[in-house]
Amino acid sequence: MIDLDNGLSERQQALLATIVREYDEQKSPVGSDALVRKYLPGISPATVRNDMVSLAAAGYICSTHPSSGRMPTQSGYRYYVRHLMRPAEISSAERRMIDHQFHQIESDLDQWTRLAATVLAQTTGNASFVTTPLSRRSRLRHVDLIATANRSALVVALLQEGTLHQQLLVRSESIDQDQLDRTARRLRHELRGSVAADVRLWADAESPLESAVCECLVELMRRVDQKTTREVWYDGVSSLLAEPEFSRGDRAQEIVRAFEQRQTLLEIAEASQDREGIQVQIGDENPAPVFRDCSVVSTRYGSGNAAGIIGVVGPTRLRYERVIAILQYLGGLMTQLWAELGE
User: pLDDT tens digits, residue range 220-248?
Assistant: 988 887 765 678 999 999 999 998 888 77
Q: Which residue has the higher pLDDT, 69 or 73?
A: 73
**Residues whose CB falls within 8 Å of the CB of residue 48, separated by 6 or more in sequence, listed in order:** 15, 32, 35, 36, 40
How far is it, in rounded angstroms, from Cα 291 to Cα 161?
Answer: 28
| Largest CA-CA distance found in the chain, in angstroms, rounded | 92
SS3 226: coil
Would you tell me how many other CB atoms lie within 10 Å of the CB of residue 109? 20
Q: Do the Cβ atoms of 117 and 128 come closer than 8 Å?
A: yes
Percent of the chain at pLDDT exceeding 70 = 95
**Which segment of 15-19, 38-42, 237-241, 297-301 scores lowest on mean pLDDT?**
38-42
Q: pLDDT value at position 177?
A: 94
- Nearest to residue 9, comparing CAs of 70, 83, 77, 68? 83
Report how far apart, in Å, the C-alpha atoms of 279 and of each of 87, 99, 123, 276, 324 are: 15, 24, 19, 8, 9
Cα four-point dihedral sign 162, 166, 171, 173: positive
Report how far apart, in Å, the C-alpha atoms of 322 and of each of 79, 254, 325 are: 17, 27, 5
Task: Examine the pLDDT at 20 and tell me if it is beyond 90.
Answer: yes
Task: Examine the pLDDT at 335 and tell me if it is beyond 50.
Answer: yes
Q: Do the Cβ atoms of 138 and 195 come closer than 8 Å?
A: yes
pTM: 0.74
Q: pLDDT value at position 76?
A: 96
Task: Examine the pLDDT at 218 and tell me if it is beyond 70.
Answer: yes
Q: Do the Cβ atoms of 124 and 310 come closer than 8 Å?
A: no
Q: pLDDT value at position 135?
A: 62
pLDDT category of residue 101 using cuts at 50, 70 and 90: very high
- Nearest to residue 167, comparing CAs of 138, 191, 182, 146? 146
Q: Identify which of 116-125, 162-171, 278-287 has the greatest average pLDDT.
A: 116-125
The predicted model gives 101-125 an average pLDDT of 90
